[in-house]
Structure 1
Amino acid sequence: MARAATTTDAFNAVAEPRRRQILDVLAGGERPVNDLVTLLGLAQSQVSKHLKVLREVGLVDVRDEGRQRMYRLNGHALKPIHDWVKQYERSWNDRFDALDVVLEELTGKEQGDGGSDE
Protein backbone atom coordinates (compact mmCIF):
# COMPACT_ATOMS: atom_id res chain seq x y z
CA MET A 1 0.00 0.00 0.00
CA ALA A 2 1.36 3.42 -0.93
CA ARG A 3 2.24 5.85 1.81
CA ALA A 4 -0.14 8.80 2.20
CA ALA A 5 1.09 12.10 0.86
CA THR A 6 2.64 14.30 3.52
CA THR A 7 0.12 17.00 2.73
CA THR A 8 -2.90 14.81 3.50
CA ASP A 9 -1.83 13.07 6.67
CA ALA A 10 -1.03 14.62 10.07
CA PHE A 11 1.16 11.64 11.04
CA ASN A 12 3.44 12.11 8.04
CA ALA A 13 3.44 15.88 8.47
CA VAL A 14 4.70 15.70 12.05
CA ALA A 15 7.26 13.04 11.15
CA GLU A 16 9.50 15.84 9.89
CA PRO A 17 11.57 17.27 12.78
CA ARG A 18 11.43 20.90 11.59
CA ARG A 19 7.64 20.77 11.46
CA ARG A 20 7.56 19.45 15.02
CA GLN A 21 9.78 22.37 16.04
CA ILE A 22 7.32 24.78 14.44
CA LEU A 23 4.45 23.13 16.30
CA ASP A 24 6.43 23.35 19.55
CA VAL A 25 6.91 27.08 19.08
CA LEU A 26 3.27 27.62 18.13
CA ALA A 27 2.15 25.67 21.20
CA GLY A 28 3.30 28.74 23.14
CA GLY A 29 1.01 31.03 21.18
CA GLU A 30 0.38 32.69 17.87
CA ARG A 31 3.42 33.96 15.95
CA PRO A 32 4.23 35.70 12.68
CA VAL A 33 6.44 33.86 10.21
CA ASN A 34 9.40 36.18 10.92
CA ASP A 35 9.40 35.10 14.57
CA LEU A 36 9.49 31.46 13.49
CA VAL A 37 12.39 32.17 11.13
CA THR A 38 14.35 33.83 13.94
CA LEU A 39 13.55 31.28 16.63
CA LEU A 40 14.28 28.26 14.44
CA GLY A 41 17.28 29.70 12.60
CA LEU A 42 15.90 28.65 9.23
CA ALA A 43 15.47 30.49 5.96
CA GLN A 44 12.05 32.02 5.44
CA SER A 45 11.51 29.84 2.37
CA GLN A 46 12.01 26.69 4.48
CA VAL A 47 9.67 27.89 7.22
CA SER A 48 7.05 28.86 4.65
CA LYS A 49 7.31 25.45 2.98
CA HIS A 50 6.78 23.66 6.30
CA LEU A 51 3.94 25.99 7.29
CA LYS A 52 2.21 25.24 3.99
CA VAL A 53 2.28 21.50 4.74
CA LEU A 54 1.07 22.07 8.30
CA ARG A 55 -1.77 24.27 7.02
CA GLU A 56 -2.80 21.73 4.40
CA VAL A 57 -3.22 18.99 7.00
CA GLY A 58 -5.00 21.39 9.35
CA LEU A 59 -2.38 21.44 12.11
CA VAL A 60 -1.82 25.19 11.74
CA ASP A 61 -4.28 28.01 11.13
CA VAL A 62 -3.33 31.38 9.68
CA ARG A 63 -4.91 34.81 9.77
CA ASP A 64 -3.93 38.16 8.35
CA GLU A 65 -3.14 40.96 10.76
CA GLY A 66 -2.20 44.04 8.83
CA ARG A 67 0.79 43.13 6.69
CA GLN A 68 1.63 40.05 8.77
CA ARG A 69 0.31 36.53 8.62
CA MET A 70 -0.18 35.12 12.10
CA TYR A 71 0.14 31.37 12.58
CA ARG A 72 -1.36 29.37 15.42
CA LEU A 73 -1.57 25.74 16.39
CA ASN A 74 -4.83 23.91 15.74
CA GLY A 75 -4.75 21.45 18.64
CA HIS A 76 -7.94 19.74 17.49
CA ALA A 77 -6.10 18.44 14.42
CA LEU A 78 -3.58 16.69 16.72
CA LYS A 79 -6.34 14.52 18.25
CA PRO A 80 -5.81 11.53 15.91
CA ILE A 81 -2.14 11.44 16.94
CA HIS A 82 -3.08 11.77 20.61
CA ASP A 83 -5.65 8.98 20.30
CA TRP A 84 -3.12 6.68 18.63
CA VAL A 85 -0.42 7.34 21.26
CA LYS A 86 -2.97 6.92 24.07
CA GLN A 87 -3.30 3.24 23.10
CA TYR A 88 0.22 2.72 24.41
CA GLU A 89 -0.22 4.65 27.64
CA ARG A 90 -1.32 1.61 29.67
CA SER A 91 1.68 -0.38 28.51
CA TRP A 92 4.02 2.48 29.41
CA ASN A 93 2.41 2.91 32.82
CA ASP A 94 2.70 -0.83 33.53
CA ARG A 95 6.39 -0.73 32.62
CA PHE A 96 7.04 2.34 34.75
CA ASP A 97 5.23 0.69 37.68
CA ALA A 98 7.42 -2.41 37.29
CA LEU A 99 10.51 -0.22 37.14
CA ASP A 100 9.42 1.55 40.34
CA VAL A 101 9.22 -1.83 42.10
CA VAL A 102 12.71 -2.78 40.96
CA LEU A 103 14.12 0.59 42.02
CA GLU A 104 12.47 0.30 45.44
CA GLU A 105 13.97 -3.19 45.88
CA LEU A 106 17.43 -1.96 44.89
CA THR A 107 17.17 1.03 47.21
CA GLY A 108 16.03 -1.23 50.05
CA LYS A 109 18.96 -3.59 49.51
CA GLU A 110 21.46 -0.72 49.53
CA GLN A 111 20.01 0.66 52.76
CA GLY A 112 19.91 -2.82 54.28
CA ASP A 113 23.63 -3.42 53.67
CA GLY A 114 24.54 -0.95 56.37
CA GLY A 115 27.96 -0.48 54.81
CA SER A 116 29.65 -2.62 57.51
CA ASP A 117 32.45 -5.07 56.69
CA GLU A 118 32.36 -6.99 59.98
Structure 2
Amino acid sequence: MPYGAGRQAARAGATAMIDVSDGLIADLGHIADASDVRIDLRSDAFELPDPVRAVAAATGKDPLGFVLTGGEDHALAATFPAGAVPDGWVEVGAVAETDGTAPGVTVDGAAWSGEGGWEHFRA
Protein backbone atom coordinates (compact mmCIF):
# COMPACT_ATOMS: atom_id res chain seq x y z
CA MET A 1 0.00 0.00 0.00
CA PRO A 2 1.15 3.56 -0.52
CA TYR A 3 2.64 5.32 2.49
CA GLY A 4 -0.46 7.51 2.88
CA ALA A 5 -2.50 4.39 3.69
CA GLY A 6 -0.65 4.08 6.99
CA ARG A 7 -3.17 6.32 8.74
CA GLN A 8 -6.04 4.23 7.40
CA ALA A 9 -4.34 1.07 8.68
CA ALA A 10 -3.79 2.60 12.12
CA ARG A 11 -7.45 3.66 12.34
CA ALA A 12 -8.49 0.13 11.34
CA GLY A 13 -6.50 -1.33 14.24
CA ALA A 14 -3.26 -2.46 12.60
CA THR A 15 -1.26 -4.39 15.16
CA ALA A 16 2.06 -3.90 13.33
CA MET A 17 3.19 -2.04 10.24
CA ILE A 18 6.45 -1.67 8.33
CA ASP A 19 7.69 -0.02 5.17
CA VAL A 20 8.78 -2.58 2.62
CA SER A 21 12.10 -1.44 1.27
CA ASP A 22 14.22 -4.56 1.71
CA GLY A 23 11.75 -7.13 0.37
CA LEU A 24 8.45 -8.38 1.70
CA ILE A 25 9.85 -11.56 3.25
CA ALA A 26 12.74 -9.71 4.91
CA ASP A 27 10.63 -6.88 6.27
CA LEU A 28 7.77 -9.08 7.46
CA GLY A 29 10.50 -11.14 9.09
CA HIS A 30 11.27 -8.12 11.28
CA ILE A 31 7.64 -8.04 12.41
CA ALA A 32 7.61 -11.80 12.98
CA ASP A 33 10.80 -11.70 15.04
CA ALA A 34 9.76 -8.68 17.12
CA SER A 35 6.28 -10.09 17.74
CA ASP A 36 7.32 -13.74 18.19
CA VAL A 37 4.87 -14.93 15.51
CA ARG A 38 4.84 -16.87 12.26
CA ILE A 39 3.60 -15.10 9.14
CA ASP A 40 2.53 -17.37 6.28
CA LEU A 41 2.19 -15.72 2.86
CA ARG A 42 -0.12 -17.19 0.21
CA SER A 43 1.56 -17.19 -3.21
CA ASP A 44 -1.83 -17.03 -4.96
CA ALA A 45 -2.52 -13.65 -3.32
CA PHE A 46 0.11 -11.89 -5.43
CA GLU A 47 -0.31 -10.60 -8.95
CA LEU A 48 2.54 -11.46 -11.28
CA PRO A 49 2.43 -8.82 -14.04
CA ASP A 50 3.49 -9.80 -17.54
CA PRO A 51 6.70 -7.69 -17.43
CA VAL A 52 7.77 -9.48 -14.23
CA ARG A 53 7.04 -12.84 -15.83
CA ALA A 54 9.03 -11.82 -18.93
CA VAL A 55 12.09 -10.78 -16.92
CA ALA A 56 11.87 -13.97 -14.86
CA ALA A 57 11.69 -16.09 -18.01
CA ALA A 58 14.63 -14.25 -19.58
CA THR A 59 16.78 -14.66 -16.47
CA GLY A 60 15.68 -18.13 -15.42
CA LYS A 61 14.27 -16.82 -12.15
CA ASP A 62 10.99 -17.41 -10.31
CA PRO A 63 8.66 -14.42 -10.90
CA LEU A 64 7.21 -14.83 -7.40
CA GLY A 65 10.71 -14.36 -6.03
CA PHE A 66 10.89 -10.88 -7.54
CA VAL A 67 7.64 -9.93 -5.82
CA LEU A 68 8.52 -11.44 -2.44
CA THR A 69 12.15 -10.37 -2.17
CA GLY A 70 12.49 -7.22 -4.25
CA GLY A 71 12.62 -3.94 -2.39
CA GLU A 72 10.41 -0.93 -2.95
CA ASP A 73 7.69 -3.05 -4.60
CA HIS A 74 5.23 -2.47 -1.78
CA ALA A 75 5.33 0.70 0.31
CA LEU A 76 3.67 -0.66 3.47
CA ALA A 77 2.76 -4.01 4.95
CA ALA A 78 0.64 -4.37 8.08
CA THR A 79 -0.95 -6.98 10.27
CA PHE A 80 -4.57 -6.67 11.39
CA PRO A 81 -6.90 -8.49 13.74
CA ALA A 82 -9.08 -11.07 11.96
CA GLY A 83 -11.75 -9.35 9.87
CA ALA A 84 -10.24 -5.87 10.26
CA VAL A 85 -8.41 -5.51 6.92
CA PRO A 86 -9.51 -2.09 5.62
CA ASP A 87 -10.80 -1.41 2.12
CA GLY A 88 -8.03 -1.13 -0.44
CA TRP A 89 -5.62 -3.34 1.50
CA VAL A 90 -5.03 -6.87 0.22
CA GLU A 91 -4.83 -9.84 2.55
CA VAL A 92 -1.78 -11.86 1.47
CA GLY A 93 -1.33 -14.22 4.37
CA ALA A 94 -1.98 -14.98 7.99
CA VAL A 95 -0.29 -14.49 11.35
CA ALA A 96 -0.11 -17.28 13.90
CA GLU A 97 1.45 -17.88 17.31
CA THR A 98 4.77 -19.70 17.19
CA ASP A 99 3.65 -22.51 19.53
CA GLY A 100 7.26 -23.32 20.35
CA THR A 101 8.60 -22.91 16.82
CA ALA A 102 10.89 -20.09 15.76
CA PRO A 103 9.29 -16.87 14.55
CA GLY A 104 9.58 -16.16 10.84
CA VAL A 105 7.93 -15.96 7.45
CA THR A 106 6.82 -18.90 5.33
CA VAL A 107 5.25 -19.10 1.88
CA ASP A 108 2.36 -21.53 1.43
CA GLY A 109 3.34 -23.14 4.73
CA ALA A 110 6.96 -23.82 3.77
CA ALA A 111 10.26 -22.03 4.30
CA TRP A 112 11.28 -19.79 1.38
CA SER A 113 14.27 -21.42 -0.31
CA GLY A 114 15.96 -18.30 -1.62
CA GLU A 115 17.15 -15.03 -0.18
CA GLY A 116 14.51 -13.09 1.71
CA GLY A 117 15.53 -9.69 0.42
CA TRP A 118 18.22 -7.08 0.92
CA GLU A 119 20.50 -7.63 3.90
CA HIS A 120 22.37 -4.44 4.75
CA PHE A 121 25.32 -6.04 6.50
CA ARG A 122 25.76 -9.17 4.38
CA ALA A 123 29.38 -9.77 3.49
Pick 1 or 2: higher relative contact order, CA cutoff 8 A, min separation 6. 2
| Bin for the TM-score computed over the shorter chain | under 0.3
Structure (1 or 2) with the greater strand fraction: 2
Larger Rg: 1
Query: TM-score by structure 1 length?
Result: 0.27
